[in-house]
Structure 1
Amino acid sequence: MLRPPIDRRLFSPLNITLAVMLVGLIGCIVTSGLLFEKRKHMVESITASGSENFTWAFNQLRVEFYRLQALSEGVDDRRDSLAGKEWEPALRKRYEIFVSRVNTVDIGSYRGIMMAEKVYVSSMSSLTALVRQMDEVLGGPNGFNIDAVEIYLRRSREIAPEIDELTAKAVEVDSRRLGSMRDLLVTQEHFERINLIFQLIILIAFAALAFYGLYRQERQKRHLVKVATELRQARIRFEREEEAKLEALQRALVEEQRNSQMQRRFVSMASHEFRTPLAIIDSTAQRMLRKLDRMTPEDITDRVNRIRQTVGRMGELIETMLEAGRSQEGRTEFNPSQIDVGAVIRHTVKRQRDITRDHIIVDEYEALPALCQGDARLLDHIMVNLLANAVKYSPKDSEIFVRAVGENGEIRISVTDNGVGIPADEIKHIGETFFRASTSAGIPGTGVGLNLVKKFVALHGGSLEINSRVGIGTTFTVRLPIVAAGDAAAA
């Protein structure tokens, strides 16, 4: 049979080329993202710089400084007429504007950018000292007065050269800062252009490889058509054989799926069944450890009985699972012998009473034969499952009735509870593997016990009857034929 020529080398030239191009494309995408973020930060910085009006702020400081100086000199010229009087409102307003300009350039980004300049440090120290001195003078009861004017005129003449130099330095710093931002933008544009060109090159290369791949695909397609023709002919020759194999495989698959599903359901329910009693044992033991020094003997007895009850339940579960496994494999051992049916039932009831403190079990026996043929182990298992179900599905403190009667050549054993009951349309399914009635929702169980009861009763040649009403209770009746010891051979 012909096979298409396929290059299986991992490090073939085509694979290496594609890998390199892919890495390059990823690098371009990452670079584009980084360049975008960088441009975004630069635009935000430039925008913030423009909104701050860097040069304007320092020019306004200088203008207000000289305006206040000019108004103060006018007041000084009229010293005699203004002696003992407050300043004019215009001068008060001009001083407040000047103070606001000083505060503006002494905070925020202005201070961060200009702190490296000596003239800024010295000028701002002088200005803040002047404002502090003026505020002290103006804080008195006279308000603005000639003394304040004299202080400002004397100090302003000393500071004026520094103000002029500060304004010039601010213009120089702002120009240098904006020039640096412009250079960064130009460099950013170069990088973006190079990155775009590189991406275009990679995309063109990808397109070329795509066309080449289509060409190879078409060539392989023609080859595959030829191979398909040969395969079709071979399929015709072996079709009947394959169909037979497929049918056998499907049957095996259906059987396997059924078994697998049953196993999963069983494992899931069994795990849940074991988890609950283990949790009860653990929580009860922990409470005893925490409160041991404060517990009375009655409390300890109650806790121990709960643990024993739960352990007994686990023992029943384990035995049920072992019997279920043996039953599924057809290995259930049925060893009939001469047994006292009444004694077996009494023993099972007593054991159930020992581990069940929340229910009242009432038993009565009538006309049972002394001995008859049967398997004591399986009969015990039948009673254990019926009693356990009655306890499980009945409310606390309710009564469970066990009655065993021998009459008409058979032994009739009935177990009656006052539990949740079984819907009438579901009774026919009771005893099927893993089946549980809809009324048992929320109550732990595996759906295995009654299946085993049904099988074990059948091994004795008997039958199982179920009478139930939802919300009232259920009665399970086991009918076993009486086989006397002398009839063992016939049985």
Structure 2
Amino acid sequence: MEGGLIPQDDAHALLQATVDNFPGGICVLDANLVMLLTNRRFYELLDLSQTMFPAGSNIEDVFRYNARRGEYGPGEPEEKVRARVSHVRSFQEHCFDREVGTGLVLEMRSAPKPGGGSILTYLDVTLKRRAEQDIIKHKETLENLVSERTGEIGRQAEELQRLLDQERHINELQRQFVTMTSHEFRTPLAIIDGAAQRLQRRKDQMTSDFAAEKAGLIRGAVSRMVDLMESFLSAGRIEHGRMFYDFRPCSLRAIVEHCVLRQKSIGSFHHFKVDLSELPPIVVADTAAIEQVFTNLISNAVKYAPTSPEIHICGSMENSSACVSIRDHGVGIDPEDLPKMFQRYFRARSSTGIAGTGIGLNLVKQIVEAHAGQIRLESRKNEGSTFTVVLPINTIMPKVDGFDQATTG
């Protein structure tokens, strides 16, 4: 070695050693696509035989070999070879990834070589790309989880808002209930107080008719207050699961007629047209509870028909059930309100200006259903309403002490 120059053979060996120690594959092409220089890693990564494609071979032969063994996917092999040769002959810088037959993902780069040709490099990026794919999958999974959780939080927020709105609505209904209840009690108390004052003022010149009239007013007002208190107490017992029923054979006709007589004793404006002849002589029911049902329905018929005096009460049979319908010609109910009429505290828009608590119909429904029956409602606004109570003749209850008697709660 003179003047610091390395002999040609040694320089070539040094270059080959350097190229062989490069972690990726290298293939240097001349302008005719002849492989001037390759390294061991080039053959390993592309799964090629160095004996089959030594330096001096044409890269086109490598492309053809790969195409025929399916490396480039389905299709005419020669077309794929021509496409790749044309691409390499452009001698332009480019980079792309390709998964080879061994399953490795290779990053392939091409850079133009001074004097013509290209330098091709191949790097194994399998682990890197898989890690990137895992990151993308984890990212998508995380985004899905975040989206699901966000949606769940949104649904929970909506449900919480619904419950809060419902709570506000119930609180408002309860406030209205307290207001209406106060008014409901104030009215009979005012009647009692007025009648008592008149009796006191005329105590020295009182006639029997006058006394009877005022006593009737007082009795009617007291009866109304008793009915209200019974409704409140029953509603409370039902709400807390403490409502008990004593099922015994009883006359449904007698119960309804008794409720009509009580209503008549309170006021004389309304006329009751009653036909209960088709009712069965006996049904199994709790007399006191069923009396509450018809007391509520009849008093409602009177209350919501203040200018229409006729109330029709009709009894009939439907299969093995007894039916009692109460029809008025009063204010009626808006169609939108019909589905809500048996909800506790609910009052129809057509009842504006008419006293009421909003618990009566809910109580009626609870009692009737406890008897395995049902309550039906038909109504047209400004034309009136018809409530029909359907009760099985023989409510199926367990026998106690040899009698058809039971309690439920």
TM-score normalised by L of structure 2: 0.54
Structure-2 residue corresponding to 1:452: 363
Q: CA deviation at 1:347?
A: 2.1
Over residues 272-297 of structure 1, what are the superposed CA-to-partner deviations in whole Å (9 max), with x where a residue is unaligned? Answer: 21111111211222223224445543
Please give the alpha-carbon distance, in whole angstroms, between the structure 2 residues aligned to 1:371 and 1:351: 22
**Aligned pair in 2 of structure 1 residues 470, 260: CA closer, same or farther (>3 Å)?**
closer
Q: Secondary structure at 1:284's aligned position in 2?
A: helix
Cα deviation for residue 384 of structure 1 reads 0.5
- Structure 1 distance, partners of 2:386, 2:371, is 20
2:331 aligned counterpart, secondary structure: coil
Q: Shift of residue 402 of structure 1?
A: 1.4
Q: Which residue of 1 aligns with 2:232?
A: 321
Match of residue 341, structure 1, among 252, 255, 259: 252
Percent pairwise identity: 39
Which one of 163, 171, 186 corresponds to residue 275 of structure 1? Answer: 186
Q: In the alignment, which residue of structure 1 is the partner of 2:313?
A: 402
Q: Does 1:350 align with 2:261?
A: yes
Deviations 1:240-269 (A, max 9, x none): xxx9xx99xx79x94876665554333222
What do the CA deviations read for 1:61-84 (whole angstroms, capped 9, x no partner)? xxxxxxxxxxxxxxxxxxxxxxxx
User: Of 167, 177, 180, which aligns to 1:266?
Assistant: 177
Indicate if the aligned counterparts of 2:180 and 2:357 stay in contact, CA closer than 8 A.
Answer: yes
| Structure with more of its chain in helix, by fraction | 1
Residue 216 of structure 2 corresponds to residue 305 of structure 1: yes
The equivalent residue for 1:465 is: 376
Looking at structure 1, the residues matched to 180 and 369 of structure 2 have their Cα atoms a distance apart, in angstroms, of: 25
Q: 1:476 aligned to 371, 387, 392, which one? A: 387
Aligned residue type for 1:392: K
> In 2 relative to 1, CA 288–257 (structure 1 residues): closer, same or farther, beyond 3 Å?
same
Match among 418, 422, 425 for residue 333 of structure 2? 422
1:29-428 equivalent positions in 2, closer than 5 A? 254=164, 260-395=171-306, 398-428=309-339
* Aligned equivalents of 2:311, 2:336: Cα separation in 1: 24
Q: Is the 8 A contact 1:466 1:476 kept in 2?
A: yes
Alpha-carbon contact 2:332-2:383 (below 8 Å) kept: yes
Which residue of structure 1 lines up, in the alignment, with residue 147 of structure 2?
Answer: none
Q: Is the 8 A contact 1:464 1:478 kept in 2?
A: yes
**8 Å CA contact retained: 2:247, 2:405:** no
Q: Is the 8 Å Cα contact of residues 421 and 469 (structure 1) preserved in structure 2?
A: yes
Relative distance call for 1:441 and 1:334 in structure 2 (3 A) is same
Superposed CA deviations along residues 437-471 of structure 1, whole A, max 9, x for unmatched, are 11211111001101101111111111211122222
Deviations 1:411-440 (A, max 9, x none): 110111122211222111111111111121
Q: Give the greater-gyration-radius structure (CA).
A: 1
Change (3 A) 1:429 1:397: closer
Q: Offset at 1:337?
A: 2.0
Secondary structure of the 1:377 match is helix
SS at match of 1:433: coil
Q: Check conservation: 2:231, 2:360, Cα contact below 8 A.
A: yes
Please give the root-mean-square deviation of Cα atoms over the aligned residues, in Å.
3.1
- In 1, distance between residues paired with 2:177 and 2:213? 33
Counterpart of 2:291, as a letter, is: D
Give yes or no for contact 1:366–1:406 (8 Å, CA) kept in 2. Answer: no
Distance in 1, matches of 2:276 and 2:398, equals 24
Paired letter, 1:300:
A
Contact kept in structure 2, 1:371 and 1:485, CA below 8 Å: no
Q: SS at 1:366's partner residue?
A: coil
Residue identity matched to 1:343 = A
Q: Is the 8 A contact 1:371 1:484 kept in 2?
A: no
CA deviation profile, 1:332-369 (whole Å, cap 9, x unmatched): 21232222222222222222222232222222113322
For the structure 1 residues 292 and 469, does the alpha-carbon distance in structure 2 shift closer, same or farther, using more than 3 Å as the test? farther
Cα distance in 1 for partners of 2:225, 2:357 equals: 13
**Secondary structure of 2:280's partner?**
coil
Distance 1:487 1:376 in 2: 18
Retained in 2: the 8 A contact 1:367–1:407?
Answer: no
CA distance in 1: counterparts of 2:304 and 2:169, whole angstroms: 29
Partner Cα distance (1:328, 1:259) in 2? 15
Matched with 1:78 is: none
* CA deviation vs aligned residue, 1:195-246 (integer Å, no higher than 9, x gap): xxxxxxxxxxxxxxxxxxxxxxxxxxxxxxxxxxxxxxxxxxxxxxxx9xx9
Distance 1:318 1:490 in 2: 26
Q: Helix, strand or coil for the counterpart of 2:258? A: helix
> SS in structure 1 opposite 2:276?
strand
Q: Which runs of 5 or more residues in structure 1 are unaligned?
A: 1-242
**Contact 2:368/2:374 (CA < 8 Å) preserved in 1?**
yes
Structure 1 residues 304 and 397, CA, compared in 2 at 3 Å: closer, same or farther? farther
Q: Deviations over 1:8-64 (max 9, x none)?
A: xxxxxxxxxxxxxxxxxxxxxxxxxxxxxxxxxxxxxxxxxxxxxxxxxxxxxxxxx
Cα drift, residue 389 of structure 1: 0.5
Change (3 A) 1:299 1:418: farther
Q: Offset of 1:301 from its aligned partner?
A: 2.0
Deviation at 1:472, TM superposition (A): 2.4
Contact 1:401 1:415 in 2 (8 A): yes
- Distance in 2 separating the partners of 1:396 and 1:304: 25
Q: 1:377 to 1:405 in 2, by over 3 A?
A: same
Cα distance in 1 between the residues matched to 2:398 and 2:190? 49
Instruction: Tell me if the contact between 2:372 and 2:395 (Cα under 8 Å) persists in the aligned partners.
Output: no
Higher strand fraction (1 or 2): 2
- Where does structure 2 lack aligned partners over 5 or more consecutive residues? 1-152
Q: Please, which of 341, 344, 347 is the counterpart of residue 433 of structure 1?
A: 344
Q: Distance in 2 between matches of 1:411 and 1:445?
A: 28
CA distance in 2, matches of 1:344, 1:279: 29
Instruction: Read off the aligned partner of 1:468 and give its amino acid letter.
Output: S
Gap change, CA 1:426 and 1:266, over 3 Å in 2: same
